[in-house]
A and B are shown apart, each in its own frame.
Chain A
Amino acid sequence: AQSVAQPEDQVNVAEGNPLTVKCTYSVSGNPYLFWYVQYPNRGLQFLLKYITGDNLVKGSYGFEAEFNKSQTSFHLKKPSALVSDSALYFCAGLSSGTYKYIFGTGTRLKVLA
């Protein structure tokens, strides 16, 4: 069965420090991978995606993610965290040729001032 896993329910990081939010996937074929962010009582906002090409993908708000095929991972990173980055982050996968997303369980990021 296809799946996307986010092993951490919550990640705490001090403002100004680098952050990493982990994601691993089990998606058939060449996966499309995404990161979305959700603020309280809001829908999801697109951050970045990997379809093909460079393994390091740069997205909105200074976030980036690295596609690692051997480790089947797509971790979200940012060099210097901001308090305003505090939110719920979802990793999602999509099998090429389909439109049925598979979402991870979400990781709550808390950036401490």
Chain B
Amino acid sequence: GAVVSQHPSWVICKSGTSVKIECRSLDFQATTMFWYRQFPKQSLMLMATSNEGSKATYEQGVEKDKFLINHASLTLSTLTVTSAHPEDSSFYICSASGTGNEKLFFGSGTQLSVL
């Protein structure tokens, strides 16, 4: 089946620094990628939807200047958490879908800890 690679798996950073998370579709072209945030024992919260070559669509309450999303190619989307703070600590998951494919393929997630 299709594979989505997400890295890093774990990142620990100091408050005020920026962190970039990459999401790659390895064997298909991902026309749409989604970024989710998951808090402990809670469901996935959709942060934004990105389509290749266009600006991401952010969900209500998600700061676009805080969470920068770039979907520069059909196989790569990045999420940059800018000026991270402890409250940004969370598990971030990307997913991708191909053209005409309703099934989502998920990355393995990134656990971000901001000290």
Q: Are A99 and B32 in contact (CB under 8 A)?
A: yes
Segment with Cβ contacts to B, from A40-48, A64-72, A78-86: A40-48
Q: Name which of B95, B102, B105 has the most chain A CB atoms within 10 A of its CB.
A: B102
Q: Are A46 and B43 in contact (CB under 8 A)?
A: no
| Residues 68-97 of chain B, each 1 if its beta carbon lies under 8 Å from chain A, else 0 | 000000000000000000000001010101
| Residues 53-80 of chain A, each 1 if its beta carbon lies under 8 Å from chain B, else 0 | 0000000000000000000000000000
- Taking residues whose C-beta sits less than 8 angstroms from the other chain, chain A's interface range is 20 to 34
The distance from the CB of B57 to the nearest CB of chain A, in whole angstroms, is 9
The distance from the CB of A39 to the nearest CB of chain B, in whole angstroms, is 10
Among B44, B102, B108, point to the contact of A49 (Cβ < 8 A).
Answer: B102
Among A42, A49, A90, A106, point to the contact of B103 (Cβ < 8 A).
Answer: A49
Q: Are A101 and B43 in contact (CB under 8 A)?
A: no
Interface majority SS (helix, strand, loop, mixed), chain B: strand
Q: How far does the alpha carbon of A99 sit from the alpha carbon of B48 in the complex, in Å?
A: 12
Contacting residues of chain A (5-54) with chain B, CB-CB under 8 angstroms: 32, 34, 36, 41-46, 49, 51
Complex interface: chain B residues within 8 A of A46 (CB): 1, 103-106
Q: Name which of B49, B97, B106 has the most chain A CB atoms within 10 A of its CB.
A: B106
Q: A43-B93, A103-B43 are in contact. Are A32 and B102 (CB under 8 A)?
A: yes
Q: A43-B6, A90-B44 are in contact. Are A101 and B34 (CB under 8 A)?
A: yes
Q: How far does the alpha carbon of A106 sit from the alpha carbon of B70 in the complex, in Å?
A: 29
Q: B15 on the interface (CB 8 Å rule)?
A: no
